[in-house]
Amino acid sequence: MKTVAVIPSRLGSTRLPRKPLHMMAGLPMVGHVYQAASRCNQLAEVIIATDSEEILDVCRRHGWNARMTSSDHRSGTDRVHEISQTVAADVYVNVQGDEPLTQPEHIDALLEPMRRDDVLVSTIKTRCPAHDVSNPAAVKVVTSQDGKALYFSRATIPFHRDGEVSGTAGYFKHLGFYAYRKDALDAFHRLPESELERTERLEQLRFLDNGFDIYVAETPFDTVGVDTAEDAVRVAEILARRKAK
């Protein structure tokens, strides 16, 4: 199963300007993501997909594999789709460019469902930390008994009508890693933005809204996505501790 990872990376972040090039523990953030993905031995290639000449130049200076893509893309998935038009693979992995705490184990878990030929899209979840159960920045997911996603939401799902269950049991945090077959990428790119997607600002809901199954594997490894300057400080401290070991 030839698998290619794509890291969508653009400079247009509003909450943390120039986010991919934000320096942490000696490297731009996108470099930490690239190096982590490159340690996964299931990947044939890792590509940073950007619309920024500045990011492309930084990648070239560090020897990171990068390609220019259109500035018109509405989502990271559309950027992965563009790469799929010229790079042949059985499976394409979307590794978010704001996940510098990525580990090879995240990708290993993500690819497990894709060993089945009938699975078109997969993603991963982890037990939701208590501080994230009611945090709208942390996306929650509920799944069926056979591992298919029922819904993703920024709200606290499931809602316990008779009171919260003990601790965080029953809550799962969605981690923004995806694996797709090309048919799924082609369909996503062709379909219009869905109402659910627009409401929650979660692009994976376009798949669910159009009848595509998303299989969700579990991992014990949480991450901290970088959306704000505060997130960046927290992640930089974690990376520095890892580097010191």
Report domain extents, the chain.
3-244
Hey, which CATH number is domain 3-244, 3.60.15.10, 3.90.550.10, 3.40.47.10, 3.30.60.50? 3.90.550.10
Q: What's the pLDDT band for 168 if we cut at 50, 70, 90?
A: low
Mean pLDDT of 114-131: 95
pLDDT given for residue 167 in this prediction? 55
Percent of the chain with pLDDT over 90: 77
Contacts with 24 (C-beta within 8 Å, 6 or more apart), sequence order: 32, 100, 232, 235, 236, 239
Q: What is the spatial distance between Cα 83 and Cα 5, in angstroms, rounded to a whole number?
A: 10
Q: What is the spatial distance between Cα 213 and Cα 201, in angstroms, rounded to a whole number?
A: 19
Q: What is the pLDDT of residues 53-89, one digit of tens each?
A: 999 999 999 999 999 999 999 899 999 999 999 999 9
Mean pLDDT of 134-147: 94
Report the range of poorest mean pLDDT among 103-107, 129-133, 176-180, 181-185: 129-133
Q: What is the pLDDT of residues 176-197, one digit of tens each?
A: 999 999 999 999 999 999 999 9
228 burial via Cβ count (<10 Å: 0-12, 13-18, 19+)? middle
Residue holding tokens 């978010």?
96
pLDDT given for residue 165 in this prediction? 56
pLDDT given for residue 30 in this prediction? 96
Report the range of poorest mean pLDDT among 113-117, 134-138, 161-165, 215-219: 161-165
Mean pLDDT of 24-29: 91
Mean pLDDT of 198-219: 96
Mean pLDDT of 27-45: 96
Residue 218 has pLDDT above 90, yes or no: yes
pLDDT given for residue 164 in this prediction? 59
pLDDT given for residue 166 in this prediction? 53
57-67 as b/e, with b when 16 or more CB fall inside 10 Å? ebbeeeebebb
Mean pLDDT of 93-111: 95
